[in-house]
Structure 1
Amino acid sequence: MKKIGLFFLGFLIIGFVFFIDYVIMPVWSLNYPLTLIALLVLAAIASGVIIGLVRQKVAYSSLLLVAIVLVLIVGQFFRSTSIFHHAEKRALIGDIQEKQFTTEISPVDLTKLPEVTPNMALNLGDKRLGEDLALGSQVTLQSFWANHVDGELYYVAPLAHSGFFRWLDNKEGTPGYIIINAANQRDVKLVREIDGEAIRIKYQPSSFLGDDLKRKIYRSGYRNIGLTDFSFELDDEFKPHWVVTLYKNRVGASGSDPVGVVIVDPATGDMEEYDLDNMPTWVDRAIPMDIAIDQINYWGRYVNGWWNPSKRGMLQTTDGTKIVYNNGRSYYYTGITSAGADESTIGFMLVDTRSKESVLYRISGATENAAMRSAEGAVQQFEYTATFPVLINLEGEPTYYMTLLDRQGLIKQFAFVNVKDYSIVGIGESKQQASSNYVARLRDRGQWSPLENAYEEVELTGKVVRIGTTTIDAATYYYLLLDTKAEKVFIAPLSMSNQLPLTKEGDQVRIHYFDSPSSSVNLSNFKNLDIGEAGTNN
């Protein structure tokens, strides 16, 4: 009877180990909490069965297994707790540099600013799938990832299995991905092939059994290291890949820190491992957002040690995080505020999504939520909802950019809100219109001047090719095209010069503007040379 019981015990232990290895997929290392819990449950099962079989005092010695595991757990607690290891946790983020905003953050091209949000991308993608009735019944969309490809920002999502039986019907993989231009909500494509070769997404999170992406990597030799942040990314030829972050716990069973990535071919399952220093250049994201934010908060929380009841000098991230792009690199953006602060920030931080290099820009101003409420208040009669803002350099000013959505989630207007003074808001039905409104309000407040801009003022003479007007909040703005700079649209308010309404096509003019990469540029000075000195405000 005891032999049968021992055989049953062995079978139970083997079955339990197989279950947690195949289904739960813990990291087999004592530095990961899930493994310690699994060992505790395993020891409890073994002890319980032995006691039930033997029913003698000696059998209670099997409880030693449970005691040993409990000692390991307690030991890991003391190795992990911030009470004793706050300095190590604060150092996880690495050295944080402090830089000037206007000299480091490049001015934006308004045409490149994103219109599409992740939620909007899902709606647009579902609509595109609905146009293909046969495909729409087989697959679904679960998540979109931001990708920077060939100088453009896209949202990309693989076609995912809509259930177990759909997976059985499509064991070779789903046939492609949806790609949406983040700056143009009408640019939505279903990509089924690259250079004539059909795309198959066989290994993905929505697959089952051996086709499950995590299980494929886990059973390929990655049982003793953490796997997280399964990102769908495109290389420079728009070929899809899965980029999965490898991480280790640096402070006992806590303090997760990325150490590299595994890049998986979604069709074949072939994989390559890279350190953070030698990844392919097309990889945008190797640092998980949640790990980056946790490490920033460690850095801010333990500035004066673990025991700091007065919260002296303590900093924390604001609610919400966004991926932003600057000079072709992607960063996590988050505001930094004093502990307990509600509406104001002491600055913001950018964390490189590839290297974790972190930079703090000390600019006192409004939090993202305060800026969103300010933009919504400017159009409160419409009850629009602001999207979480993107921080940009607009006309040399740190500025929040966001879209305003109606109740159906459709873009109705665009908004720019000044970081240092969130009462300065520019609203418009286009990015260019909102930008002109914003700059006009900066001028009215005396907060926009040539000395504060990070780029040079340019003088240009040319012939007017086209001229038009628009009215924003009862103020008239003129839009000009010149033959000497045909790729840019120049914008000036009527208040700049009384010569503007007298200007016609063919007139020779002299303008001043700041050399921004944007295709629409606000003028700092205007003069019609054919009119001479008459009628000028300057």
Structure 2
Amino acid sequence: MKKNKKGIIVVLVSAVLLVVLNYFLLLPLNFKFLGTSLTVTLFVVINCVVLNVLSLISQSKTEGKKSKTGFIIAGVLVLAIIAYGVINSSMFRADEYRNLIGNVEQKEFTNDIHTVDLTQLPIVDKKLAENLGDKKLGTYVGLGSQVTLGEFTKQNVNGQLYWVSPLLHSGFFKWMNNKEGTTGYIMVNATNTKDVKLVDKLNGKPLKIKYQPNAYFSTDLKRHVYMKAERTAGLTDFSFELDDTGKPYWVITKYINSIGFSGEKILGVIVVDAQSGEIKEYDTNNIPSWVDRVAPDFVIRDRIDWWGELVHGFFNFSKKDMLTSTKGMNMVYNNGECYYYTGITSVGSDEAIVGFILTNTKTMNSTFYKVSGSTEIAGMQSAEGKVQNLQYKATFPILINVENIPTYFMSLKDKKGLIKQYAMVSVEDYSIVGVGETIKDAKSNYVKTLKNKGNITLKFTGEQKKLQGTIMRIGSFNIEGTTYYNFIIKEKPDTIFTASAAISSQLPLTREGDNVSFSYNETESSSIDVLEFNNINIKGSK
């Protein structure tokens, strides 16, 4: 009887330890998660060992047999976990893994991707946002020693792109002295390096980030959600996001494994008020409009790779038709929607892509655009080669539409991480590069280089207009062997018109005071490319 009591005590103590341990681990109460299954199995093994030791001490054959039975049970559990993982791997369930992405539409780039708005191009990458945020934090005396910057997330706030980071506790004792929360968050405008601000008030009231990853006990973000809202599903991608009023929230992806211990199926999001801790849950059909991302990038990348690599099942040793995503994944915005972008390359190819995929971060719908060209890394190297004497480094590019040409856009930074120039590189031909100290200059030089190729058809955006006026100033310059002319007319003195010498033999003969007529596409740029040119003063001109 005493021996039975010892066994019961061991099991009870073990159960209590498991509960205490889970207070820190916060494992989903679901055996479809590998961590949960392994932890429970480990505790069964520990119980077997302890019971076996007790039986040896008491020299009880009965207890010894029980402990051996326990070892057998533990061994069976371990083997079951291994077998379950293998049976549910892509080796045996390739079609199910490949179909997780859903129907991948194929569309034309020029019909679906809107042409670039130069004023909304994000020039600040995550690393620069971190540097700018650190500098801003350093301007507030004493604050930097109390808090640290959280992870920056790129998001759309009222139509503007920002990198946003919460201020987090820098340690346990800092949390102890400031349990009401840290002082707000930092916003870095993704399109303007001078627009960096610390937001510590909202509607005139102090803003405190009470619930956060660097808090402890009940105000620890993950523990707060685990205890109050969700214990059976997986929680991942704890993103700090703002609604359109600037109110801070944590947006957490809720998922379940649909194929064994893998194949994450997104169920929706849990939204936590960073100040009050109020929790709201949304399924994938009713996500708030201000939430930018529901699916984490690593989930989308897995789905894309399964879709491309399992095209003919797992045992495709010849790698026939196999595709995979390129290195790096970026977030792009098209027509107000947020997407993950990644290039798609044939398995074994280093510098060439066969197209790219855009996946909506909310709906998870994926679209494939068939475009032969260079990878993002090759595009970065081409841009860096253009300014190799300056030793600038390119940021990871974003995909944009320039006159219906798929284009990589990137910033060029010096050794201190400061933006010095901008570059645009053709996806289809990475030898076509345009750089400039402003985005407008980079685009203008890029378009000129595109025109020089001759075999590329540009479809210019904007309304085509014709204009007649008097030349006020005119000058020429040369880019890679091609001569261009900039001119200003008295009737439109705030606009610089640019024309290639190839469009008219009259351009080299044109002087100040001449009357000219020309056509162009009206855009928001202060430098506009001319399509046709005619000097009325030159005899014989029309």
TM over 0.5: yes
SS of equivalent residue, structure 1 residue 63: helix
Hey, what does 2:33 align to over in structure 1? 32
Measure, in 1, the Cα distance between the counterparts of 2:489 and 2:142.
Answer: 48
Asked if 1:80 is matched to 2:88, the reply is yes
Query: 1:50-74: per-residue Cα shift (whole Å, max 9, x none)?
Result: 1112233322222243134224303
Measure, in 1, the Cα distance between the counterparts of 2:7 and 2:489.
Answer: 88
Asked if 1:150 is matched to 2:158, the reply is yes
Measure, in 1, the Cα distance between the counterparts of 2:532 and 2:351.
Answer: 39
How many angstroms does 1:120 deviate by?
A: 0.4
Alignment check: 8 A CA contact 1:115 1:403 kept: yes
Asked if 1:417 is matched to 2:425, the reply is yes
Asked if 1:453 is matched to 2:459, the reply is yes
Matches within 5 A, 1:2-21: 2=3, 5-6=6-7, 8-21=9-22
How many angstroms does 1:423 deviate by?
A: 0.5
User: What one-letter code is carried by the residue in structure 1 that aligns with 2:356?
Assistant: F
CA gap 1:54/1:469 in 2 versus in 1, 3 angstroms: farther
Aligned length: 531
Hey, what does 2:350 align to over in structure 1? 342
How many angstroms does 1:293 deviate by?
A: 0.3
Asked if 1:292 is matched to 2:300, the reply is yes
Q: Which has the larger radius of gyration?
A: 2
The partner residue of 2:365 within 352, 357, 364 is 357
Hey, what does 2:246 align to over in structure 1? 238
CA gap 1:501/1:407 in 2 versus in 1, 3 angstroms: farther
How many angstroms does 1:79 deviate by?
A: 3.9
Asked if 1:329 is matched to 2:337, the reply is yes
Asked if 1:195 is matched to 2:196, the reply is no
- Greater RCO, CA 8 A, separation 6+: 1
Give the TM-score, by structure 1 length: 0.92
User: For structure 1, which segment, 399-408 or 471-480, has the greater mean C-alpha deviation from structure 2 after superposition?
Assistant: 471-480
The partner residue of 1:389 within 397, 410, 423 is 397
Measure, in 2, the Cα distance between the counterparts of 1:454 and 1:276.
Answer: 38
Aligned-residue Cα RMSD (Å) equals: 2.7
User: For structure 1, which segment, 385-394 or 206-215, has the greater mean C-alpha deviation from structure 2 after superposition?
Assistant: 206-215
Measure, in 1, the Cα distance between the counterparts of 2:267 and 2:100.
Answer: 12
Any stretches of 5+ residues in structure 2 without a counterpart? none
Alignment check: 8 A CA contact 2:234 2:254 kept: yes
CA gap 1:99/1:172 in 2 versus in 1, 3 angstroms: same
Query: 1:465-522: per-residue Cα shift (whole Å, max 9, x none)?
Result: 9868685748555265897898x76544455555489576997754222x65x53564
How many angstroms does 1:352 deviate by?
A: 0.3
User: What one-letter code is carried by the residue in structure 2 that aligns with 1:48?
Assistant: V
The alignment-based identity, stated in percent, is 40
Query: 1:407-449: per-residue Cα shift (whole Å, max 9, x none)?
Result: 1111111111011110011111111111111111111111443
How many angstroms does 1:48 deviate by?
A: 1.1
Asked if 1:217 is matched to 2:217, the reply is no
Measure, in 1, the Cα distance between the counterparts of 2:541 and 2:228.
Answer: 73
Hey, what does 1:100 align to over in structure 2? 108
CA gap 1:262/1:485 in 2 versus in 1, 3 angstroms: farther
Asked if 1:431 is matched to 2:466, the reply is no
Hey, what does 1:126 align to over in structure 2? 134
The partner residue of 1:523 within 523, 526, 529 is 529
SS of equivalent residue, structure 2 residue 350: coil
Hey, what does 2:386 align to over in structure 1? 378
Asked if 1:444 is matched to 2:452, the reply is yes
Alignment check: 8 A CA contact 2:474 2:512 kept: no
How many angstroms does 1:330 deviate by?
A: 0.7
How many angstroms does 1:94 deviate by?
A: 0.4
SS of equivalent residue, structure 2 residue 258: strand
Alignment check: 8 A CA contact 1:465 1:482 kept: yes
SS of equivalent residue, structure 1 residue 408: coil
Hey, what does 2:374 align to over in structure 1? 366
Alignment check: 8 A CA contact 2:146 2:169 kept: yes
Measure, in 1, the Cα distance between the counterparts of 2:489 and 2:180.
Answer: 54
Hey, what does 1:532 align to over in structure 2? 536
User: For structure 1, which segment, 186-195 or 491-500, has the greater mean C-alpha deviation from structure 2 after superposition?
Assistant: 491-500
SS of equivalent residue, structure 2 residue 274: coil
